Structure 1
Amino acid sequence: MGTPSIQFNESPEDPFGIDRAASAVVDDEGTVVGWSLRAQDLLGYPAKEVIGRAWRDLLVDSHDLPVARSAVAEAVRAGGWIGVLPVRHRDGSRVHLGFRARAVIREGGEQEWFLVGAPAAEIVAWQRDRALLDGLYRRSPIGLVTYGPDRRVIRVNRAVEKASGVPAEAPVGHRPCEFMVDEDAGPADERVRHVLETGEPLIFTEQSARTRHDAGRERIVSVSAFRMEDPTGQVLGVAETIEDVTARHRAQRRLALLNEASARIGTSLDVAQTARELAEVAVHGLADFCSVDLLKPVTLGGEPVPGAAGPLLRTALSPPEHRVPFQEGDVVPLLPESAQARCLAERRPILEGLLSLRPEWYAMDRRRIELALGLGVHSLIALPLMARGLVLGVVSLWRAHDSEPFEDDDAAVAQELTSRAAVCIDNARRFTQQQNTALTLQRSLLPSTLSDLPAVEVACRYLPASGEPGLGGDWFDVIPLSGARVALVVGDVVGHGIHAAASMGRLRAAVRTLASLDLEPDEVVARLDDLVSLLAGELEASTDDNPSAIEQVLGATCLYAVYDPVSRHCSLARAGHPAPLVTTPDGEVTVLDPPAGPPLGLGGLPFETYDLLDLPEGSLLTLYTNGLLEAGYGDVDTALEHLRTCLEGTTKPLDHTCQAVVEALLPKGHLPTDDVALLIARTRMLRPQNVASWELPPEATSAARARELATAKLDEWGLAELAFTTELVASELVTNTYRYATGPVTLRLIRTHCLTCEVSDTSHTSPHLRRALSTDEGGRGLFLVAQLTERWGTRYTHDGKTVWTEQPLPSA
């Protein structure tokens, strides 16, 4: 007969139970006097073969006898015994049985021994299960809670007691809502009810766990639960295992915070916006309150001074609804020995509880913060914002009320967060620096002031692009011309950045140079087109690795208009530029349709002049770049209609009209992604009493006649002081036409801010200024004219040319 096999049940029974164990009775002499049926089953001996015989002769082999005698002696000495002995089976095999022995005193004082035995394997399994159960409640590092059918706690183990700080007996007899914080108790009670009713186990369910004993201490636990049943299926309750995963949960949350920061910080190249993004992310996952204070040069795009510790500007604050001593834009004093000052000086994070700070700092700052915020701040982390070796500012993180104080791990995460944000802020600072440089360059190339001209009253607006590509190459100009005329120019170099601004400056200078030649608008645009082609060729030869620069020049557009206040005649030409608008004094708005012409730099195609005759005085000429129509509306036609509406029937001052156009086409808060240039001119007309014109015959006496007419008109205007000079100028110019031209001669005097004298003829020959030798009889006329006047020049028309001079009026 072999060793009986052991069946391990889910709930092993006590192997020494009366219905499972073998039992025998031995008298004090070692004779068996009692034998049970279970003993017969285990060892094969029927009672009749055992009773009356000595146990050592029947049940123990000779070589096991010393062990058996030692066990008997131990039992006698202790009055009982528990141990394992090898026992001989009836078939001769050995069976290891575990025994319990107990001395029994019979009536009459005789002593007998009652023995209970069971297979050793069953005893070991039973003891292991009991040790496991005991270990779960006493030594297991994983929490264990058992609930009864009424969902009340039956027992908790030592791990739960240690983690919660609540004595193990405190929760017994209570439901979760009676010893846990309300917002955590509800899910816990619902979890137990669900398992109890459905029998479905829960595996690794994470939730918050806070006890009323320590409500401010939050723990994240992983809970697994199953329903307990007896062999008959009777529900006994629910068992939960609880593992504290707070550290892992916080680590995951910190990683998620850093991942979120990568996506949310640095979405724009604006320093203040990037700082706000940092503050919002920090409050969302790390702190209750965050402030970002930057060195003042950083906020302006400048380079921070090495070693500088101020001044600091409050650039971002979150949550922004709290009333704090320093709002965004305020200067924040850096108190000596404060955490912020130390972190800047030592260039490392400083983690402190407020109560550990210096008394004077505590009295000055914490009192203000607590009174103003009502936050009950209890700890902070101050971190330097550093990027590429530069200190940009300081970030302050605060925790308050029921939030747990900052730990070293929080400081490490905060440092990683601010390091990433610092790079984004520094990128924004560098972009702002580049933008400011380009903007300074561009503004220096644009007209600083627009003088009051006799031909037009002007108002303008220039708005640089605020998008990431940077400002562009839009420009405008108002150029005084001879004869009281004025040139209005608006242009756009396609592209952004310093290259576009520099190209714009070159084109604007070229336009002014061409305008001084008094060319027709189509000729000015044509020569500008030749210049752009020449510049593009130079760039192509010198910047093979930078094709974008060539593209910026090739993409230039321009509109050039000339208005004459005497004739009220306006002529214009454009090169791929948006058409201008004309608003008559009665409020009617017309979009002009001059020949568009190709953009500058393409070459090979002609440009045409578009003429507006007899333009009413007080008309508005509106010139603009395409950024105005593309800024606030997706559809250009819609934007153009809004522009027409703003210009219809306007009687406001010109500057107000200009501002109204900008506000209508650029909604409030909308940042244009391209430059916007707007130029509005209200036309004027020179009164007839300020213009005098005479036609003279091509005769030798015309010079004398010109002197007489000029002197008489100057006397009439009260400008007798200029009579001598004007007589000489008029005489010399008329004499030249008589000698070198044919056809009638026209003499015209114009009185504006200066005195203009013009002599026109039908010849296209150009007079040249030269210095006559002492032996020359002539050649000194134009030299004298140039010396006696402030400016002089020649302009050509289809019918001939006009030589003009300008003299300043007497100061009186």
Structure 2
Amino acid sequence: MEADAYADSRPPFDLAALATLIDGTTAGVGVLDTELRFLYVNRALERLNGIPAAEHLGRTVSEVLPHIDAGEDMMRAVLADGRPREITSSGYTPAASGTARRYWHGAYHRLEVGGQVVGVAGIVLEVKASDEERRELEQAKRNLTLLDSAVDRVGTTLDMDTTCAELVDLVVPALADLATVEVFLPDVARPVRPAPPGMLRLRRAALSATAGLMDGVEEFGLTGEYIDYQEDSAVQRCLATDQPVIENLNDDMRLSCSAANPQRVVAYRALGMHSTVVVPLSVRGGPLGVLGLIRAGDSPVFSDEDVVVARELAGRAAVDLDHARRYAHEHTIALELQRSLLSEPRLPHPHIEVATRYLPADRGVMVGGDWFDVIPLPDGRHLKAMGDVMGHGVEAAVAMSHYRSLLRLLADELLPPHRILEQLDRMVERSGPDRAATCLLVVVDRYSRMCEVSSAGHLPPVFIDPLAGGTRLGDIAAGPPLGTGLGGYATTLVECAPGTVLFMYTDGLVERRGEDIDVSVRRLTELALPAGGSLDDLLDDALEKFGQGAEDDIAVLASRSRLPAPEQDIL
């Protein structure tokens, strides 16, 4: 057969008869076996593909035409259930128009002989579109790709500026030559100078531009700047209506109305801006800011379809920005609250040395409930506390404040540590902060060689004795965490002579994924007082040695007492 051909292994039907029937049709016809290998190709399909029929035989569609989306999965479905299907495919072929994308519409049917499935037949017609239709189709595909990629590329973190940067990097150059995101100032930010009357102040959170425009963006305004928008600017109109504002800046009057202020007109013109779209970034709770898209130079003006895509992208990004804003709001409040509660403890006596550190976990983790305190007692002793409220965020910080306040009230009653924990456990259970916590209490008498220690689920303290030259863990029994109402606490007497360093910590210092906590805690016996005897240096060394890679906040406290007589001072 001239153009018609068939595989060496003949199929269970007459290809010659098939060729006589359909060889003259203008539709491309191909017959494939159950492995989707070509058995027959008519002259029309040979011409459509630009490949001789003989080169099809025994090969799959993807092997013959690797640059088209032929829908082989769809053909397998036809073979599986026998239900005919239609598909529109596109791609590039070696035919005369091989440099341009082509489009085909095909119908596929299962072939059966004597009740046995022997293959699938495809009938293909080329779809001829005008240049304009093809451009529109290509643009529609690019827009769909852009919207799909936004799912993976925007909102990857809970940081607002990162989300804004991801958005502008996505739309440049796919949708604009230059893009900005401006947002309202957060309500927990440090105050800045007020905007002039009638002006709206936003903070530029992100900016991206094509290589040709990057040299001129400095005059346009950089990331991090506060920008005041005049009353009739495109930004103010966009936010007032919660609708996109589209402007073709074909004269200085239009450019002036769209600009943030008259001073920016020169910079806008220098960039060659001729078309802009301002899209609101808003959620049901209200506006968060705006996405600004700009085209310059030879780029076409924005079309209605461009605005639809921009609005969809802005809507998706606004949800991510709202999550980031809420997280930043809560994180800032919790951090400020925790910092206020973790201020340096007031020294109970001139002969008591205390050093503390608080190291927050990675910024991506919400602030925790770690806390410490040193409380002078009326009888000359002092109480040292280290606690860790379970959980993170504002609730944990508020619960931490609750625990600390109750502890200070109970400390005045001069109870032994285990009785303080029992009272605290009952009070917390009744008041219901809904946050369990661990707590370690140590009562120190600087005239005694012993201290009283009690634990509510907290890790044991470490004692560093420079005279004896050793470091040991406190051998104490740990009761249940506070807030459970279970009680069962005990006070243990531990040797702690003047000059001995008491080291207290939260689990963030030692807890590591995949390692037994007892192993981690025993590693603290490697601690040693630095040569200069500084408690601050001791804490710095401890954090450097054990705090690397921590997944939770870390609070540490080191203290020691000295007898007032000079001959007994231990430095």
1:486 maps to what in 2? Answer: 382
2:239 maps to what in 1? Answer: 344
2:169 maps to what in 1? Answer: 280
Residue type of the alignment partner of 2:419: E
2:44 maps to what in 1? Answer: none
Choose from 191, 202, 205 the match for 2:90.
Answer: 205
Residue type of the alignment partner of 2:179: C
Matched-pair contact (CA < 8 Å) for 1:379–1:398: yes
- 1:502 CA displacement: 3.3
Choose from 179, 194, 202 the match for 1:312.
Answer: 202
1:391 maps to what in 2? Answer: 287
**Gap regions ≥5 residues in structure 1:** 1-9, 11-128, 133-190, 209-218, 226-238, 540-548, 692-812
Matched-pair contact (CA < 8 Å) for 1:224–1:242: no
1:572 maps to what in 2? Answer: 453
Q: TM-score scaled by structure 1?
A: 0.48
> How far apart in 1 are the matches of 2:51 and 2:528?
72
Q: The residue matched to 2:426 in structure 1 has which SS?
A: helix
> How far apart in 2 are the matches of 1:636 and 1:243?
71
Matched-pair contact (CA < 8 Å) for 1:300–1:432: no
> How far apart in 1 are the matches of 2:444 and 2:397?
27
> How far apart in 1 are the matches of 2:356 and 2:415?
25
Q: Which piece of structure 1 moves more, 321-330 or 284-293?
A: 321-330
- 1:516 CA displacement: 1.3
How many residues are aligned here?
456
Q: How does 1:778-793 map to 2 (within 5 A)?
A: none
Choose from 395, 414, 427 the match for 1:531.
Answer: 427
Matched-pair contact (CA < 8 Å) for 1:455–1:564: no
> How far apart in 1 are the matches of 2:206 and 2:345?
36
Matched-pair contact (CA < 8 Å) for 1:588–1:649: no
Q: The residue matched to 2:479 in structure 1 has which SS?
A: coil
> How far apart in 2 are the matches of 1:291 and 1:459?
46
> How far apart in 1 are the matches of 2:290 and 2:480?
54
**Gap regions ≥5 residues in structure 2:** 4-24, 27-47, 57-63, 69-88, 94-98, 106-125
Residue type of the alignment partner of 1:280: D
Matched-pair contact (CA < 8 Å) for 1:269–1:427: yes
Deviations 1:178-210 (A, max 9, x none): xxxxxxxxxxxxx998679958789753469xx
Q: The residue matched to 2:482 in structure 1 has which SS?
A: coil
Deviations 1:472-505 (A, max 9, x none): 4322111012344221101122233444333332
Residue type of the alignment partner of 1:679: L
Q: How does 1:722-737 map to 2 (within 5 A)?
A: none
Q: How does 1:688-703 map to 2 (within 5 A)?
A: 688=565
Deviations 1:96-154 (A, max 9, x none): xxxxxxxxxxxxxxxxxxxxxxxxxxxxxxxxx9xx9xxxxxxxxxxxxxxxxxxxxxx
- 1:243 CA displacement: 5.4
**Pair 421,654 (structure 1): closer, same or farther in 2 beyond 3 Å:** same
> How far apart in 1 are the matches of 2:361 and 2:146?
33
Matched-pair contact (CA < 8 Å) for 1:464–1:471: yes
* 1:328 is aligned to 2:213: no
2:561 maps to what in 1? Answer: 684
> How far apart in 2 are the matches of 1:633 and 1:330?
45
**Pair 312,252 (structure 1): closer, same or farther in 2 beyond 3 Å:** same
- 1:350 CA displacement: 2.5
**Pair 224,608 (structure 1): closer, same or farther in 2 beyond 3 Å:** closer
1:501 maps to what in 2? Answer: 397
> How far apart in 2 are the matches of 1:220 and 1:612?
85
- 1:269 CA displacement: 3.4
1:70 maps to what in 2? Answer: none
Q: Specify the structure having the higher radius of gyration (Cα).
A: 1
**Pair 336,247 (structure 1): closer, same or farther in 2 beyond 3 Å:** same
**Pair 416,497 (structure 1): closer, same or farther in 2 beyond 3 Å:** same
Higher helix share: 1
Deviations 1:509-533 (A, max 9, x none): 2221222122222222233233344
Choose from 445, 460, 470 the match for 2:356.
Answer: 460
Q: The residue matched to 1:391 in structure 2 has which SS?
A: strand
**Pair 648,315 (structure 1): closer, same or farther in 2 beyond 3 Å:** farther
- 1:443 CA displacement: 4.5
* 1:222 is aligned to 2:117: no
1:296 maps to what in 2? Answer: 185
2:144 maps to what in 1? Answer: 255
- 1:576 CA displacement: 0.9
Deviations 1:74-98 (A, max 9, x none): xxxxxxxxxxxxxxxxxxxxxxxxx
> How far apart in 1 are the matches of 2:199 and 2:242?
11
1:590 maps to what in 2? Answer: 472
Q: The residue matched to 2:200 in structure 1 has which SS?
A: coil
Matched-pair contact (CA < 8 Å) for 2:345–2:373: no
Choose from 591, 604, 627 the match for 2:508.
Answer: 627
Q: The residue matched to 1:571 in structure 2 has which SS?
A: strand
- 1:410 CA displacement: 0.9
Q: How does 1:535-550 map to 2 (within 5 A)?
A: 535=431, 539=432, 550=434
How large is the RMSD of aligned CA atoms in angstroms?
Answer: 4.6
**Pair 260,453 (structure 1): closer, same or farther in 2 beyond 3 Å:** farther
Residue type of the alignment partner of 1:409: E
- 1:336 CA displacement: 6.4
Deviations 1:262-295 (A, max 9, x none): 4443344333333233233333743343221111
Q: How does 1:17-36 map to 2 (within 5 A)?
A: none
Choose from 489, 504, 510 the match for 1:607.
Answer: 489
**Pair 651,403 (structure 1): closer, same or farther in 2 beyond 3 Å:** farther
- 1:413 CA displacement: 1.2
> How far apart in 2 are the matches of 1:480 and 1:663?
30
**Higher RCO, 1 vs 2 (CA within 8 Å, ≥6 residues apart):** 2
> How far apart in 1 are the matches of 2:537 and 2:343?
20
* 1:559 is aligned to 2:440: yes
- 1:639 CA displacement: 6.1
2:330 maps to what in 1? Answer: 434
- 1:679 CA displacement: 2.0
Matched-pair contact (CA < 8 Å) for 2:277–2:294: yes
Q: The residue matched to 1:570 in structure 2 has which SS?
A: strand
Q: How does 1:84-483 map to 2 (within 5 A)?
A: 204-206=89-91, 221-222=101-102, 244=131, 245-283=134-172, 285-297=174-186, 300=189, 310-318=200-208, 324-325=217-218, 326-334=221-229, 338-356=233-251, 358=253, 365=264, 368=267, 379-388=275-284, 390-399=286-295, 403-447=299-343, 449-451=345-347, 453-463=349-359, 470-483=366-379
> How far apart in 1 are the matches of 2:315 and 2:473?
54
> How far apart in 2 are the matches of 1:647 and 1:355?
74
Residue type of the alignment partner of 1:314: R
Q: The residue matched to 2:312 in structure 1 has which SS?
A: helix
> How far apart in 2 are the matches of 1:569 and 1:295?
58
Residue type of the alignment partner of 1:293: E
Q: TM-score scaled by structure 2?
A: 0.65
Residue type of the alignment partner of 1:391: P
> How far apart in 2 are the matches of 1:525 and 1:603?
11
